[in-house]
Amino acid sequence: MNIKANTLLFIALSGASTSALAISVYKDKATTLDIYGRIEWQLANGDASFAKDDSRSQIGGRLGIYLTRDLPLLEDTKLVGRLEWQVRTEKDDNKTNDKDLDARYAYLGLSHAKYGELIAGRTKNPLYQVMRMTDKYKNFTPNVYNYGITTIDDSYQFNRQDGTLQWNADFSGHQVQLAYVFGNGNSDNDALDDGMMASYRKTIKIGDVKITPALAASQYNRQDNVKTTDGRKKHSQVMGGLQLDYSDLSFAVTAGKVSIERDKKSDNDYTSFDSIASYQFTKEFKLLGGYSFLDEDGQNVYEREGWRVESQLTLAKGVYLSATYLKTLANKNEKINDDAVIVGLRYDF
């Protein structure tokens, strides 16, 4: 384990007795410093999981630091910063690429009480305002968004990327996010020219029903005269979602369109769909399930298709025992019939 990992482990352990949730390491009238993270263990069996055709287990971990600092020269303004890593937990850990720490989020910026925050670095991007509607499972992550975007920006992972300037604001429930991707100056990625993202989200309450619509869009551009997979030079995406909540019942759907411009070829287009329904039977027990697909134009079989059902038992605040059944119906434009069962234990602190 390298020096950075040893230092972070010492900080986390030294404050571990202060709280069962996010740990307040330091706080005074002007400054806060919190430690947070996750430890999760999973046991899987089946071709639709990481276990393939066998039974396998894995353990994963995350560790993060969040800080704020009041700025006397700027009224109602704070410095905000976040560092979060995927932590190497096993010798053969495929989530960290053989590194002790793999960056998830890393940004620094200013937060104003009225006008929102302006942050720069590796951010949770505006597209997640739509994506998070169906990202509710403990043992599964929706994988129908942003297809092909890593060809242009290889730092992109699910909902985050390097070299970004982002503004997040909430005006009486109107949530607006805008981002411009410059790219990382220390990267070897020569493909990325720039990228832009925007999103809007609002929750409307009608009686006992909450209705939440959200819209998002992005565009990534490749540098001229750079070779990329399949000649991809521009990645454009629009997506929208709608979430309905009534008492203990929740339902959400998202849909999106990806268009990839290519050198000397026609555009490569994809349509995505994701859905989820959940019911909170008791304070501790929830059941949820959903169906999703990614459809490539011109193909007879979906690029990806599947459904899943998951039960979640909350053992304590931040502690979850879950069991998931996954069914994969298509992958890479071929029909398949794979399934899997995953049992997980997670602690978010």
Return all residues near 199 (Cβ < 8 A) that are at least 6 apart: 126, 127, 128, 129, 130, 175, 176, 177, 214, 215, 216, 217
Q: What 8-state DSSP symbol labels residue 223?
A: P
- DSSP of 191-216: SEEEEEEEEEE--EEETTEEEEEEEE
CA dist 15 and 18 (Å) reads 6
Q: How far apart, in whole angstroms, are the C-alpha atoms of residue 103 and residue 1?
A: 16
User: How confident is the model over 62-121, as pLDDT tens digits?
Assistant: 999 999 999 999 999 999 999 999 999 988 877 777 788 999 999 999 999 999 999 999
Domains and CATH numbers, the chain: 3-348 (2.40.160.10)
Facing residues of 118 across strands?
A: 110, 167
Beta-strand relationship, 334-348 and 77-87: unpaired
Cβ atoms 339, 331 nearer than 8 A: no
Separation of first and last alpha carbons in the chain? 22
- What are 137-178's pLDDT values in tens digits? 999 998 899 999 999 999 999 999 999 999 999 999 999 999
Q: What are phi and psi of 165, to 5 degrees?
A: -110, 120
**H helical segments located in the chain:** 3-14, 128-131
36, 78, 100, 324 from 140: Cα distances, Å: 22, 36, 24, 8
From residue 239, how far is each of 19, 160, 309, 332 by CA, in Å?
39, 16, 24, 22
Specify the range with the lowest mean pLDDT, choosing from 9-23, 135-149, 158-172, 316-330. Answer: 9-23
CA distance 8 to 39: 15
> For all residues of the chain together, what is the average pLDDT?
92
Predicted confidence (pLDDT) at residue 3 exceeds the cutoff of 80 = no
Band (134; pLDDT cuts 50, 70, 90): very high
Measured CA to CA, the distance from residue 36 to residue 222 in angstroms comes to 36
Q: What is the pLDDT of residue 21?
A: 64
Span 49-63, average pLDDT: 93
192, burial (CB in 10 Å: exposed 0-12, middle 13-18, buried 19+): buried
For residues 284-306, average pLDDT: 98
Place of tokens 């700025």: 71
Q: DSSP secondary structure string, 262-290?
A: ETTEEEEEEEEEEEEEEEE-SSSEEEEEE
Residue 13 CA, chain-centre distance (Å), reads 27
DSSP category for residue 157: B
DSSP 299: -
Give pTM, 2 decimals: 0.90
Structure tokens at 50: 């990481």
